[in-house]
Amino acid sequence: MRKKVDFLIIGSGIAGLTFALKVAHKGKVLIVAKDKTDETATKYAQGGIAAVMYTPDTYEKHIQDTLKAGDGLNDERIVRLTITESTERVKELINWGTHFDKKKSGKYDLAREGGHSEHRVFHHKDKTGYEIEKTLVAQIKEHPNIEILQKHFAIDILTQHHLGKELNKKSKGIKCFGAYVLNPETKEIMTILSKVTLIASGGAGNVYSTTTNPRIATGDGVAMVYRAKGQIENMEFFQFHPTSLYNPGERPSFLITEALRGFGAILKTADEKEFMHKYDERGSLAPRDIVARAIDTEMKLSGEEHVYLDCRHLEKDDLIREFPTIYAKCLTIGIDITKDMIPVVPAAHYMCGGIKVDEYGRSTIQNLYASGEVASTGLHGANRLASNSLLESAVFSHRSSLNAMEHIDDIGFCDEIPDWDASGTVLNEEMILITQSLKEVQSIMSNYVGIVRSNLRLKRALDRLEIIYKETEDLYEKSVLTQRICELRNLIIVGYLIIKMAMQRKESRGLHFSIDYPNDSDKNGYISNNYEF
Ligand code: FAD
Ligand code: SIN
């Protein structure tokens, strides 16, 4: 089946949906989502969206906090434009119907998270993402120009590499003409031709064994663009959230929002001792990379599988009112957060790098934009400041939409793109081959390419991954296409890119920490010594 649309959007989180709502008056929009429309990382966001609204906060303070967290690798021009557009984008979400919590005075009740010098996080209790996603999906469903294909999987973007050799030779630069999309139920592969394509496919936390990310986060967008020879960058900066609920066997790991530490919760060891001030004067509210490494160190020192977050000193009614989801979730595993400490452990959380884009969300492939977690805009540098991700998605989908609408009338369809060629694929692969390889990839990445790295560990990871890569490519060539094998292939590419980029970085910077390149602060103290195990 072939289909033509003006705007093809891969992904139905905040990045995809806000872009869709903005461009829909200009042409036909198709959103493809590989699960149910609302099954996105966006839906699980707890803490909120950072934006400047009231004094004493200023754009400059938010800019400086973002730069400080990014450890000198942010693109300052991008940081400045993102933060100065933050107020407008949050007001827009409010106008679409999103409810953020207010104080009795009528002012927004802004929270504070790690690395923020002011209270500036708009939130809806501890389920901000759910509120945003619900609001946007409702808007999308009302729009006559927007169609959603849920439970459809984008396999690859279409470029001139899909044309015969003669046609391919004629074109200059790589161009995107749409995507091949699989309907896993019927096994049909659709050819979707578009003038403009937006990749908004989210993150890749499932490359690690423990992650807060939902199952959809398998790095498909990064892998598609890498295969199409677009530029990918900064993949070595994978953020581990310091506090996911320690509940072995649960996947994804349930997040315990940083806002809880902003509310006064304190990290402690099993013997109830605070430890964060040994590592950073900001204590439990230091930026994530520092807190995650400190927890990792404490766990290695004690031999325990987790540390604790203590809320017992906080006012009970306020705690339950502000964090109802966390309170209820913990009760299901026998923890009453008003009486018991919460066992927490770091988990892979956010991909700071991704598809390289410019200030209008343009990738290095023509007519292909990227926004949201999949994009690398330059905002985060070596480490993302909490709650800047939803903001980045809103800002860059807005900027991409303006640029795409300006140019769409000059773009045509590429009718010469052939349909998917499934000849030669006869094998219905055994699922065990895929699930086992996936576990191996996750274990390699977690053991050798996690919070603490070394040259030796990275080399070992690359050698091991190469074997799985070859086996999987062989299987892929012969197999009838399924979503699972495509996702495995994509995660292997993501793992490969993280390792390769980590190997190229001969320093410890932000989220990339290597015992072979200790920072000055580490030489003085605690971290590097503890990692010699
Ligand atoms: P997502 O919301 O993840 O959407 C991705 C979409 O792409 C989905 O619709 C998926 O089906 C689709 N997709 C992917 N691959 C394919 C494919 N091959 N074919 C078809 N469709 C595909 N950030 C903050 O700023 N504040 C927070 O408080 C916060 N809390 C978080 C809490 C949790 C538990 C998690 C996991 C993340 C949190 N983050 C937070 C990060 C933030 O939620 C995400 O970075 C952001 O929501 C990403 O939005 P997105 O639109 O880029 O992608
Ligand atoms: C959290 O609520 O702690 C997550 C915030 C984020 O990832 O930005």
How remote is the CA of residue 447 from the centroid of ligand 2, in Å? 24
**Does ligand 2 lie within 6 Å of residue 42's CB atom?**
no
**Does ligand 1 lie within 6 Å of residue 329's CB atom?**
no
How remote is the CA of residue 202 from the centroid of ligand 1, in Å? 4
- Paired sense of beta strands 2-10 and 178-183, if any: unpaired
Which member of 120, 261, 288, 384 is catalytic? 288
**Does ligand 1 lie within 6 Å of residue 255's CB atom?**
yes
77 is catalytic: no
Closest atom of ligand 2 relative to the 388 alpha carbon: 8
Query: For residue range 393-411, what is the model confidence (pLDDT) as tens digits?
Result: 999 999 999 999 999 999 9
Q: How sure is the predictor about 426, in pLDDT bands with cuts at 50, 70 and 90?
A: low
Closest atom of ligand 2 relative to the 390 alpha carbon: 8
**What's the confidence (pLDDT) of residue 287?**
81
Q: How sure is the predictor about 480, in pLDDT bands with cuts at 50, 70 and 90?
A: confident
Query: For residue range 301-350, what is the model confidence (pLDDT) as tens digits?
Result: 999 999 999 999 999 999 999 999 999 999 999 999 999 999 999 999 99
Whole-model pTM: value is 0.95
| 7 three-state secondary structure | strand
Closest atom of ligand 1 relative to the 487 alpha carbon: 18
d(CA 156, CA 144): 27
**Does ligand 1 lie within 6 Å of residue 211's CB atom?**
no
Give the closest residue (by CA) to ligand 1 atom 31: 45
Give percent above pLDDT 70 in the chain.
95
d(CA 242, CA 416): 50
Task: Identify the DSSP state of 283.
Answer: G
For the chain, how far is it from start to end, CA to CA, in angstroms?
A: 56
- Tell whether the torsion through CA atoms of 487, 493, 499 and 501 is positive or negative: negative
Identity (one letter) of the amino acid at 198? Answer: L
Q: How sure is the predictor about 524, in pLDDT bands with cuts at 50, 70 and 90?
A: very low
Closest of 170, 225, 155, 193 to residue 418, by C-alpha: 193
Whether 439 shows a pLDDT value over 50: the answer reads yes
Whether 479 shows a pLDDT value over 90: the answer reads no
Helix (H) or strand (E) holding 354, with range, is strand 354-356
List all residues 6 or more positions away from 455 whose beta carbon is below 8 Å from its beta carbon: 503, 514, 516
Give the closest residue (by CA) to ligand 2 atom 1: 257
Whether 121 shows a pLDDT value over 60: the answer reads yes
Give, for ligand 2, the residue of 291, 387, 388 to mutate: max count of ligand atoms closer than 8 Å to Cβ.
387
The vertex-95 CA angle with 90 and 100, nearest 5°, equals: 55
**Does ligand 1 lie within 6 Å of residue 180's CB atom?**
no
Query: For residue range 368-391, what is the model confidence (pLDDT) as tens digits?
Result: 999 999 999 999 999 999 999 999
**What's the confidence (pLDDT) of residue 533?**
22
The full set of domains in the chain, from first to last, is: 2-44+127-236+352-410 (3.50.50.60), 243-348 (3.90.700.10), 431-480+482-504 (1.20.58.100)
**Does ligand 2 lie within 6 Å of residue 373's CB atom?**
no
- Paired sense of beta strands 307-310 and 368-370, if any: unpaired
Q: Both tokens of residue 21?
A: 């709502």
Give, for ligand 2, the residue of 110, 239, 240, 257 to mutate: max count of ligand atoms closer than 8 Å to Cβ.
257
**Does ligand 2 lie within 6 Å of residue 258's CB atom?**
yes
Query: For residue range 34-93, what is the model confidence (pLDDT) as tens digits?
Result: 999 999 999 999 999 999 999 999 999 999 999 999 999 999 999 999 999 999 999 999
Cis peptide before 252 (omega within 30 of 0): yes
Work out the angle between the directed axes of helices 76-84 and 388-407 (0-180°, nearest 10).
Answer: 90
Closest of 151, 152, 194 to residue 175, by C-alpha: 194
**Does ligand 2 lie within 6 Å of residue 387's CB atom?**
yes
How remote is the CA of residue 122 from the centroid of ligand 2, in Å? 12
- The mean per-residue pLDDT over the stretch 127-131 comes to 97
Closest of 404, 443, 445 to residue 176, by C-alpha: 404
**Does ligand 2 lie within 6 Å of residue 257's CB atom?**
yes
Whether 430 shows a pLDDT value over 80: the answer reads no
How remote is the CA of residue 213 from the centroid of ligand 1, in Å? 8
Contact criterion met (CB below 8 Å) for 236 and 353: yes
| 346 three-state secondary structure | strand
Looking at the DSSP assignment, which residues form a beta bridge with residue 310? 266
Torsion of CA 97, 100, 103, 106, to 10 degrees: -30
Closest of 521, 63, 355 to residue 513, by C-alpha: 521
**What's the confidence (pLDDT) of residue 59?**
98
Whether 532 shows a pLDDT value over 70: the answer reads no
| 56 three-state secondary structure | coil
Q: Both tokens of residue 407?
A: 């140019």
Q: How many CA atoms lie within 13 A of 160 on its CB side?
A: 14
How remote is the CA of residue 45 from the centroid of ligand 2, in Å? 7
How remote is the CA of residue 241 from the centroid of ligand 2, in Å? 8
User: In this structure, which ligand is nearest to the CA of 50?
Assistant: 1
The vertex-130 CA angle with 378 and 488, nearest 5°, equals: 60
**What's the confidence (pLDDT) of residue 431?**
83
Closest atom of ligand 2 relative to the 46 alpha carbon: 2
**What's the confidence (pLDDT) of residue 530?**
32
Whether 271 shows a pLDDT value over 70: the answer reads yes
| 355 three-state secondary structure | strand
How remote is the CA of residue 132 from the centroid of ligand 1, in Å? 12
**What's the confidence (pLDDT) of residue 520?**
57
Taking residue 224's Cβ as centre, other Cβ atoms within 10 Å add up to: 26
